[in-house]
Amino acid sequence: MDQMAEMICRELEIRAEYLPIKKLDTIYFGGGTPSLLKPKLIEKILDQIAKTFNSDWKEVTLEANPDDLSEENLTSWKILGIDRLSLGIQSFDEEVLKFYNRAHSAEESRSAIAKARKVGFEKFSLDLIYGFPQTNHELWKRDLSEAIVQNPGHISSYALTVEPKTALGNWTKKGQFQPADEDFVAEQFEILQEQTEKAGYIQYEVSNFGKPDQFALHNTNYWKGVPYLGVGPSAHSFDGKNRGANPSNNSLYIKSLEKNTPPFTVDNLSDDERLNEYILTGLRTLWGIDFELIHRDFGQDLLTSKKTIISQMDSEGWLLWKDKNLSLSKSGKLLADSIAAALFI
């Protein structure tokens, strides 16, 4: 871990000129389990960020598992300036947690939330997974009710997906696990929308629900196409025009930086690819996409070229309009990726 933190600091130094504006608004420790890092190593990385860029950040988020939330860790993180936690709760059901191979129990989740509040964390998000195969929706309703009772400012919720080359993927292939069908998962998504809205949350992105003053600033910037620098193995970056990624292999990452060479591969995007990304990410959000911006920045008149498909989707009740700005209705959010794909160039 010490060596990895050292290399991350070196990458920050080497890639200081990557961003078009050398001032950061938000920092996000995520992708894996950064809460396993000793506080002194988090401090080392934050010090390097402050030295390389700036130190007046609007939001610093740390992803954490409930079993890592000791009062000692929480206090250290708070002192370091971390002001937002993203907690990987996943479920409050003991059997489901065992199935997901999570190290924490439901009681540890409740205790972790209480400890975070005691230490003074006001901003935190709970991550939940829906779509676990059952004969009815009672388990999901209980999970969701429990999360809402905890009254976090933010809830992120994603459907259970089966990825190849994972334990779940292998079980499915061997017939040891049967994923829920699409209709069942869609019904759970609708329950999620209904219950969070009743509790005062705003669905500002397909999978993210926040109280009015608790939207995740970092993620919002990402969805709005703001450039970002990702450091560490597997990290992705975007400079406003092109994307790129670091290798996922730790050894390759370290060896490259020991030679003072950033292990970064650039993916040059065409104008059409950039427009498609804007449509894909923008339609997932409360703010939607702006057809005037598309015409001005990309030279495409989608209102004309996609007139027929837009009219069809409008008649289905999937779209919401505000002048020439398009976002998705509740039912439209169920089909966000398909609707975006239909508008692609």
Domain ranges across the chain:
58-223, 271-343
Q: Pick the closest to residue 8 from 217, 229, 238 (CA basis).
A: 229
- Among the four given CATH numbers 3.40.50.2000, 3.30.750.200, 3.30.1050.10, 3.40.50.720, the one describing domain 58-223: 3.30.750.200
Beta partners for 334? none
Q: Tens of pLDDT along 30-69?
A: 987 899 999 999 999 999 999 999 999 999 999 999 999 9
Cα 135 from Cα 224, distance rounded (Å): 39
pLDDT value at position 31? 80
Q: Which residues contact 259 (CB under 8 A, 6 or more apart)?
A: none
C-alpha dist (Å) from residue 121 to 42, 67, 166, 217 = 17, 17, 34, 16
Confidence of residue 170 (pLDDT cuts 50, 70, 90): confident
Beta partners for 209? 155, 203
Confidence of residue 22 (pLDDT cuts 50, 70, 90): confident
pTM score of the predicted model: 0.95
Q: Pick the closest to residue 61 from 158, 147, 127, 144 (CA basis).
A: 127
**Number of residues in the chain:** 345
The owner of tokens 């993927």 is 169
Q: Which residues contact 134 (CB under 8 A, 6 or more apart)?
A: 140, 180
Cα 62 from Cα 277, distance rounded (Å): 26
Confidence of residue 163 (pLDDT cuts 50, 70, 90): confident
Q: Tens of pLDDT along 281-331?
A: 999 999 999 999 999 999 999 999 999 999 999 999 999 999 999 999 999
Q: Do domains 58-223 and 271-343 have the same CATH topology?
A: no
- Can you give the C-alpha Rg of the chain in angstroms? 21
Architecture of the domain spanning 271-343: Orthogonal Bundle (1.10)
Q: Tens of pLDDT along 124-157?
A: 999 999 999 999 999 999 999 999 999 999 999 9
pLDDT value at position 252? 97
Amino acid code (one letter) for 117? R
Cβ(230)–Cβ(237) under 8 Å? yes
